Amino acid sequence: MDRSKASVRATYDRIAASYAAARERPWDEVLDFITDLPAGSLVLDVGCGHGRHARPLALTGQSVVGIDVSRKLLTIGKKATSSSQDFRSIEWVGADATALPFPDATFDAALCIAVLHHLASRVDRLLAVTEMRRVLRPGAKAFLSVWSLDDPYLERVLGGRPKKPDVEIPWRLPDGTTVPRPYHLFKDDELERLIIESGLEGESFFRGAGNRFVLARANG
């Protein structure tokens, strides 16, 4: 399967409507992170999709810049929030996580939830984290998640334990058609190494619901 960034963008544009409908609820781990942010922070949401985490950020008084490669997901998010003053602080930007269109030291905090595992190469995964560190102000917090190779749920989806970290997970459209989505599943210490090499300082690493999480901070 084509694992290029262009192919991933095309895949998420294709499944955008059904994906947005099925992925409305924000993650509890992200809500915990949001709760600890000072009101009035400028927060970058990398891979924001249709805004399921941008919305709770806005509702807690944050200014949000959400970036994503899928223009269709961005359009869905923008349309869903355009009629409410509660979400006027969200800016929707079409951009690539590996080349963020912002100056150094712009943001007070950043999210990167379920994004890195869609990048096919380690070079791009490291570049995405490095770019996040670049645009964070000294001392700013970042919260990231990736899918873990040892998630038991994968056995059911794939019909057995994955034998390699690069897999395809099907997404079923309402008409019954399945669309393969490429993933790079993370092994032990893989996320830790990316954080170290990016220049971020990892404050805590933990597991939850088949994912690996890290709370990190940009060094001053």
Give pLDDT tens digits for 51-105. 999 999 999 999 999 999 999 999 999 999 999 999 999 999 999 999 999 999 9
Band (1; pLDDT cuts 50, 70, 90): low
What is the structure's pLDDT at 131?
A: 98
What is the structure's pLDDT at 5?
A: 85
What is the structure's pLDDT at 100?
A: 98
Task: Please report how many Cα atoms fall inside a 13 Å half-sphere around the Cα of residue 33, on the Cβ side.
Answer: 28
Tokens of 3: 């694992």
Residue-wise pLDDT for 193-202, tens only, equals 999 999 999 9
**Residue of 142, 121, 128 lying closest to 98 (CA atoms):** 128
**With 80 as the cut, is the pLDDT of residue 2 above it?**
no
Tokens of 8: 């991933």
What is the structure's pLDDT at 93?
A: 98
> In degrees rounded to 5, what are phi and psi of residue 99?
-150, 70
**Residue of 133, 107, 131, 129 lying closest to 116 (CA atoms):** 129
Work out the average pLDDT over 125-132: 98
| Residue 148: domain span | 5-218
Query: Exposed, middle or buried: residue 78 (CB in 10 Å: 0-12, 13-18, 19+)?
Result: middle
pTM (2 decimals)?
0.96
- How many structural domains comprise the chain? 1
> In degrees rounded to 5, what are phi and psi of residue 83?
-90, 0
CATH code assigned at 202: 3.40.50.150
Q: Are 129 and 121 in contact (CB under 8 A)?
A: no
Q: How many CB atoms lie within 10 A of CB 88?
A: 11
What is the structure's pLDDT at 191?
A: 98
What is the structure's pLDDT at 220?
A: 67
Tokens of 133: 């560190």
Residue-wise pLDDT for 141-184, tens only, equals 999 999 999 999 999 999 999 999 999 999 999 999 999 999 99
